[in-house]
Amino acid sequence: MYNIFITGSTGFVGKNIFNYFIDKYSFFSYIKYTKIDIKQNIVLHFAGIAHDLKNTLSKDDYYEVNTEFTKQIFDAFLDSNATVFITISSVKAVADKIDSVLTEDFTPKPITHYGKSKLLAEQYILNKTIPDGKRVYVLRPSMIHGPGNKGNLNLLYKIISKGFPWPLGSFENKRSFCSIENFCFIINELISNKNIPSGVYNIADDQPLSTNEIINLISKSQGKKPIILNISQKLIKSISKIGDFLKLPLNSERLNKLTETYIVSNNKIITAMNKPLPLSAIEGLIKTFNSFNTSAK
């Protein structure tokens, strides 16, 4: 029986992890600002500040939570009897834009304070000597989605569900996603399989998809025909820049998120587990969109 010390238990990932393992493991949820005292044998450090699309955070917020707090949790793990430490970093700790498929061998060059704060936490962990009998995993997930998700997929879903045409059809892209079910499956393997080496692992579904393909899946989940417009990219980018100043739903940051090509290789983690993921990218997204359908009723 594994006992889990978890931070970020009230977040999207934390809630899904709890539900996934509720009948298998016992949990102790860390309460913010309390003393860090790890008595459990597994540490899941999921607390963190995500990339702020609304620009409401200061740069210090990222480093205080993503870097310094992670250091504190990891030091407490090293001083404890816990045997497994798993933390969520980000692909953006490596690069905000990529021209090829992202692997763990890339030299990190983050641009944002979000990415830099995550990289500093990674470096702190990886530069420590890991005692015998302990395993440490730093995960760099692509966009995680699933029931309860409140990210850009929700924005897409709301637009399509209200019958609005999709105006970004002229953008051709491919990007990697990660269903929460696949993510939980990987967490379970990292906990239970002692043969998986410590280290950094990219986490993603097997197949990257374009935003236009996502729109088609959303429409399919609602039994509708997709309406995709091929409006000039130049015009769309001009509108997004206006959105930066007027705080419109479409701004430059969100446009980039919706249309960028960002393909993440999961070969390292799949090889280490020696098991396939339970869901394909399409199956995972359909489950997510079906959950949106249910919650909207």
Spatial CA neighbour of 203 closest among 154, 242, 145: 145
Spatial CA neighbour of 141 closest among 287, 266, 286: 266
Is pLDDT at 81 greater than 60 in this prediction?
yes
How would residue 76 be classed by pLDDT, with cut points 50, 70 and 90? very high
137 and 190 in contact (C-beta within 8 Å)? yes
CATH number where 87 lies: 3.40.50.720
Look over the chain and give the mean of its residue pLDDT values, rounded to a whole number. Answer: 93
For the chain, count helices (H), then strands (E): 11, 8
Residue 153: what pLDDT?
Answer: 85
Is pLDDT at 183 greater than 60 in this prediction?
yes
Instruction: Tell me, yes or no, if the pTM score tops 0.85.
Output: yes
Q: Tell me the per-residue pLDDT of 125-135, one tens digit each, with 9 for 90 and over.
A: 999 999 999 99
Number of separate domains in the chain: 1
Residue 258: what pLDDT?
Answer: 83
Residue 158 included in any domain: yes
Residue 224 included in any domain: no
Is pLDDT at 295 greater than 80 in this prediction?
no
Name the more confident of 101 and 250: 101
Residue 40 included in any domain: yes
Name the more confident of 51 and 204: 204
Print the domain residue range for 185: 3-212+255-296
Strands (E), 58-134: 84-88
Is pLDDT at 52 greater than 60 in this prediction?
no
| Least confident span in 49-53, 96-100, 127-131 | 49-53
Residue 97 included in any domain: yes
How would residue 120 be classed by pLDDT, with cut points 50, 70 and 90? very high
Residue 103 included in any domain: yes
φ, ψ for residue 138, nearest 5 deg: -110, 115
Residue 159: what pLDDT?
Answer: 83
Spatial CA neighbour of 218 closest among 282, 128, 269: 282
Is pLDDT at 51 greater than 70 in this prediction?
no
Residue 274 included in any domain: yes
Q: Are strands 143-145 and 177-179 parallel, antiparallel or unpaired?
A: parallel
What is the arithmetic mean of pLDDT over 221-242?
Answer: 93
Residue 244 included in any domain: no
Residue 233 included in any domain: no
Distance CA 65, CA 237 (A): 33
Q: Could you give the 3-state DSSP secondary structure of residue 80?
A: coil
Is pLDDT at 190 greater than 60 in this prediction?
yes
Q: Tell me the per-residue pLDDT of 141-181, one tens digit each, with 9 for 90 and over.
A: 999 999 888 777 887 888 888 888 999 999 999 999 999 99
